[in-house]
Structure 1
């Protein structure tokens, strides 16, 4: 089983990395770019019977800073390996 944890800054938290990316895009000639927010995606390979609640606890305790970040957990069965 695979889990994907998407972590992003909460609304209202300053994002200097996003601001730098926006500025760089504008300097490269990309007009019309609004706010840019930077986050992270963490992919986990898990035992088939791992419950979602366990992954959410991982995110709360280590993968995200609950003071300034929010997270989303997506879980899926791992695709079969090609021969």
Structure 2
């Protein structure tokens, strides 16, 4: 989780106006296997100066596993 937090901080630092990410979603961030976890990126971005533009599951025609697509706008 520390690696994810550092990655989020770096994404925020280098982003111009918008930030987007796609992650496998699960509200409580359960473990998928020994190397992977589900994520709740909305919860991870809540302490940054951003506006959530979109936080939706991708359509299964695009991605069968339906990861969560999160689009944020930096508030400057």
**TM-score, normalised via structure 2 length:** 0.30
Instruction: Give the structure with higher Rg (CA).
Output: 1
Structure 1 or 2: more strand by fraction: 2
Task: Give the structure with the larger helix fraction.
Answer: 1
